[in-house]
Structures are given as C-alpha cells and as structure tokens.
Amino acid sequence: MPRWLKDNGLSIFFGLIFLASLLGQAVSGHTSVNHDAVLHHGDPISFWHYVTSAVFWTDVMENWQSEYLQFTLYIFATVWLLQKGSNESKPLNDAGGESDEKQLLGEHTKRNSPAWAKAGGLRTTLYSNSLVLVMTSIWLLSWFAQSITGRVNYNADQLDHQAPPVSWATYITTSDFWNRTLQNWQSEFLAVGSMAILSVYLRQRGSPESKPVGSPHSATGEEG
C-alpha cells in the first residue's frame, strides 16, 4: 500500500463514500422528481438541470448543516459536560479548558508545536478554538444556504399555486424551514447521545471510539 494511502485512509474512505452517496442521491432524486412530474402531467427535467437546482441543493444543505452542528456541539459540549464511564468523555475532574501544562501551551510548548500555539496572545487564543470556530462557520453557512435554497423552492411552489412569494425573513419563520431543520437535528442529537452512553457498557475492539474491551464500565475518558 502506498504511504499516502496508508496515511490518509480515513479521510480518503469517507471522502469516497461521500461522493458515491451524493451521486446516488442525485440519481435517485432526479428519478423521483421526474416521476412526480409525469404523475402531474408536467415535463421531465434533465439530470444536469436537477443537480444544479435549488431542489437538490436544499436537500444537500439541510443534511450538511445538521451534521456540522452535531460535531460542533459535541466538540464544544465535551469541554465542560462529562459522562461517567464514557469513552467520549474526559475524566470526571477535567471539566473546562484545562491547564497550560496539559494543553502544551505557554512554557510547556514543544519544539514542534504549531506556530500559533507558541505565539501567545490573540493568535494562541484563536488557534485554541480554531476547530470549533471553523466547524461553527460551516454549520452557519450551510444552514444559511438551506434557507436560501429552501426559499427558492418554497416560492416556486407558491407561484405554482397562485400564492405570493415570501421574503427570506418570512421564509425562515415558516413550518417548511423548521420542519426541514428539526427533522435533521433530532436524529443527530439522538445518535450523539447514544454514542456517549452506549460506549459506557459496549465495546469495539481496536476502535479509538471505544474503551479497551477489558476496561471497567466505570472507567471514564480512556483511549482504546
């Protein structure tokens, strides 16, 4: 196996199954939309038309935003909130931002620490929160994109039924927007909560997402 493949197994694997699923969503979504068009005596649209349309992109964005929200919240919540016995939690006395010594900051930086970790001041503060900052930005942008594309669809539907189009500010108060949003959020929150509590009593040998198989149920915050 080439070195670059071994070094990037996780990101390449998930990148590929992401692209394959997105293609599958596009193909099945296109078929579904055209099936509906035929049922309503409308004209079928081309595949290209479908994958560049707001209909397709709303479906993509509403799922993206909920995934990024899930991980953002998880990264942020696990700084302060703990779960006894869970591999997903830090040890019970470690809540909060932790000491500079533990975080390898200030006089505890290493020769090969990132430059902004060594810099101190605003740069180190920014870098100390950079993962949550970028994940939050992607969440907010994808949620905004969901509202933009959702409004285009909503207004197309309004016009089809001789109803007036709505502004963006009105669209984000509609049941359409919140139904699309919350149906995604609920599943993410359930999955994250499940992961936190199931890892107390259940194991996967070899996975860093699990405690070692022989680790006691009460052990909190160990690496697998």
Partner 1 sequence: MRSVRVMFVLYLLMVFAGLAYAISLGFLGH
Provide the binding-site residues for partner 1, judged by CB under 8 A: 3-4, 7-8, 11-12, 15, 52-54, 57, 60-61, 64, 138, 141-142, 144-146, 148-149, 151-152, 168
Shortest Å, Cβ 174 to partner 1? 15
| Cα–Cα dist 15/21, whole Å | 10
Tokens 């860093």 identify what position? 208
Shortest Å, Cβ 68 to partner 1? 9
Number of helices followed by number of strands (H, E) in the chain: 9, 0
Nearer to partner 1, 50 or 86 (CB): 50
Shortest Å, Cβ 1 to partner 1? 13
Helix or strand holding residue 114 (H, E) = none
Shortest Å, Cβ 37 to partner 1? 17
Shortest Å, Cβ 221 to partner 1? 26
| Cα–Cα dist 100/106, whole Å | 6
Are the C-beta atoms of residues 199 and 86 closer than 8 Å to each other? Answer: yes
| Cα–Cα dist 92/60, whole Å | 38
Nearer to partner 1, 4 or 41 (CB): 4
Shortest Å, Cβ 89 to partner 1? 27
| Cα–Cα dist 87/76, whole Å | 16
Query: In this structure, what token pair is assigned to residue 206?
Result: 């070899």
Nearer to partner 1, 5 or 39 (CB): 5
Nearer to partner 1, 9 or 193 (CB): 9
Handedness of CA 72, 75, 79, 82 (dihedral sign): positive
Nearer to partner 1, 135 or 200 (CB): 135
Are the C-beta atoms of residues 24 and 32 closer than 8 Å to each other? Answer: no
Nearer to partner 1, 90 or 151 (CB): 151
